Amino acid sequence: MDTELKKEGQSVADVDLGDSSQTSNKPGLWNSFKDSFKPAIATETLTSKFGTEDESELSDVQKAALRSANSQLSRSLKSRHLQMIAIGSSIGTGLFVGSGSALHAGGPGGLIIAWTLISTGIYTTMQGLGELSVAFPVSGGFNIYATRFIDPAVGFAIGWNYFMQFFVLLPLELVAGSITIKYWNTSINSAVFVAIFWAGVVFITLLGVKGYGEAEFIFSFIKVLAVSGFIILSIVLICGGGPSHEFVGGKFWRDPGPFANGFKGVCSVFVTAAFSFGGTEMVGLTAAETSNPRKTLPKAIKQVFWRICLFYLVSLTMIGTLVPYTSKKLMGSSSVDATASPFVIAIVEGGIHGLPSVINAVILIAVLSVGNASVYATSRTCNSLAEQGMAPKWTGYVDRAGRPLAAILITDIFGLFAFIVASDKQEEVFNWLLALSGLSSIFTWMSINVSHIRFRRALRYQGRDTDELPFVSQTGVWGSWYALILNTLVLIAQFWIALFPIKGKPSAYDFFLSYLGLPVILASWLFYKMWKNQWKLFIRAEDIDIDTGRANVDIDVLKQELAEERANLKQKNFFYRSYKFWC
């Protein structure tokens, strides 16, 4: 029975908890709730090419591959959850507020150039991630891919840096939420709102992956609706449909002009644009908890293209057209409230009143959405590290509801650190905590690029081809090379801006705030090498395991199914084929 359930994408735990019709002794609601926190019931292990279940005979990489493939996480995420997670996972304060500082530093031309180039890199990166995650829907996503296809030390460094990035983000977002509330001039102590938001996040995270999926579905839907409404309103304002009936056109592109601070300004926007896409890769983490990864993940991965084109590039074009980069209101764009948002500035300058409160409410929702997502990312990464033997074993505890309970509780408890909002040192503390993993997203994307390149290399070396893959990257291995080079250029640009800031003097304090992530990740890599006394730089292509954890073990059957699907698709009309290609 266990094997049949596995094929249907369910765990034994799901049936034990949810299907009471198969037992005459129906447990009470309280007993069901209480029992859900007990250890997950072991299911039949997946097959691997190692030919043994005795882990003492396996290497560290083989153990990591086998454990991640047999994770007890619940497969409860459905297609609609993944669609909205893919579309809205990184629509947050980086777009609603951070784009204001980018406009001030680089001008509208710099805004469009930087976000366009970075978005192409994100698109190709997500294509490579899609290929890997559909073929290997295992616990840990890109973290385990780095361990298996590059080197365990790289997986260790990437995993712990990604953990730290989102571990710190929860209390930071709770504080940001309390600051956002101040827009309505409330006299209530900010700590009260921190407690309310913290309790809400804890409640959602303890509901399990399905609770996270439903919450993100609602949050993302609201964010998407807000951005779509803003784009429509902006077109009306540009064409002179506002209360003043002034035709805006491209006047701010002529005066003060398309660029601010020249080439250095554009480079600084590159860095802001890269950070604004942080969280896009989170779809890869959902692979182990998706009910039908072969069908649902490709759709979610392809949605990234539409999100980039519509929600980022179009909305940023509208902002660059409606708001001059010389606007004094943009100066305070580092704060988290509606007054600094270029979305609000554009609306107010257009003569429309009343909407700033709506935008501020959307910013608050975006903040809480990121807080909710940070618990998901941290707990799943921590669980993956524990499965690989890179974190204490107890942190990988998974209960019968399929929740990585220990990792969730660790993250939620650290969220209480947000009560530092009552301290006058909060900004300095958070700045340094964020600096520890400030470049984590870029390093994560680079690891995905290299993992995809190494996987393709191993596939070719071992006499296999892409015909056996359920989903093939539309940009191929060259797309991953392109993204890798682009991410390297972003690191170089960040180094330059950190060392020689715009209209500022070189400062060791500011430099390490911006670039501390690099020595931290190098130290993490070196620590693992010394800990394991393993000094190989990478796993050779012939030694890479390209079978364990595969969603479809019978390659011949899979090839036949894929061939039939391609044949059926060829018989459809051009518009249907185009739709399936992009969506």
Tally of structural domains, the chain: 1
What is the CATH number for 162?
1.20.1740.10
Q: What is the pLDDT of residue 88?
A: 67
Among all chains, which residue has been given the structure tokens 């509330």?
A: 181
Helix (H, G, I), strand (E, B) or coil at 175: helix
The parent domain of residue 473 ranges over: 73-497+536-552
Question: Measuring CA to CA, how many Å separate 344 from each of 44, 322, 329, 397?
Answer: 55, 11, 10, 45
The verdict on residue 332 lying in a domain is yes
Nearest to 313 by CA among 476, 91, 101, 80: 91
Q: What is the pLDDT of residue 548?
A: 84
Question: Measuring CA to CA, how many Å separate 468 from each of 131, 373, 546?
Answer: 11, 33, 11
Please list the pLDDT of the chain residue by residue as tens digits (583 residues): 344 444 444 443 344 444 444 444 566 677 776 777 777 776 555 545 555 555 666 777 777 777 777 777 777 777 787 777 777 666 777 788 778 888 888 899 999 999 999 999 999 999 999 999 988 888 877 889 999 999 999 999 999 999 988 888 888 888 878 877 877 877 788 788 889 989 998 998 888 888 888 888 888 888 888 888 989 999 999 998 888 788 888 888 988 888 888 888 888 888 788 878 888 888 888 877 887 788 888 888 887 777 777 788 889 999 999 999 888 877 544 444 556 678 888 888 888 877 778 888 888 888 888 888 888 889 889 988 998 889 898 988 888 888 888 999 999 998 888 887 666 666 677 677 777 767 888 999 999 999 999 999 999 999 888 888 889 999 999 999 999 999 999 999 889 988 888 877 888 888 888 888 889 899 999 999 999 888 888 899 888 988 888 776 677 777 788 788 888 888 888 887 877 777 7
Q: What is the pLDDT of residue 18?
A: 43
The verdict on residue 217 lying in a domain is yes
Max Cα-Cα span within the chain: 77
Q: What is the pLDDT of residue 552?
A: 62
| Whole-prediction pTM | 0.87
**Alpha-carbon span 247 to 231, nearest angstrom:** 16
**Alpha-carbon span 560 to 554, nearest angstrom:** 10
Q: What is the pLDDT of residue 425?
A: 66
**Alpha-carbon span 118 to 112, nearest angstrom:** 10
- What kind and span of H or E run contains 128? helix 98-135
The dihedrals phi and psi of 399, each to the nearest 5 degrees, come to -90, -175
The verdict on residue 444 lying in a domain is yes
The verdict on residue 57 lying in a domain is no
**Alpha-carbon span 223 to 88, nearest angstrom:** 7
**Alpha-carbon span 525 to 536, nearest angstrom:** 12
The verdict on residue 61 lying in a domain is no
**Alpha-carbon span 501 to 117, nearest angstrom:** 22
The verdict on residue 573 lying in a domain is no
The verdict on residue 275 lying in a domain is yes
Amino acid in the structure at residue 63: K
**Alpha-carbon span 550 to 265, nearest angstrom:** 45
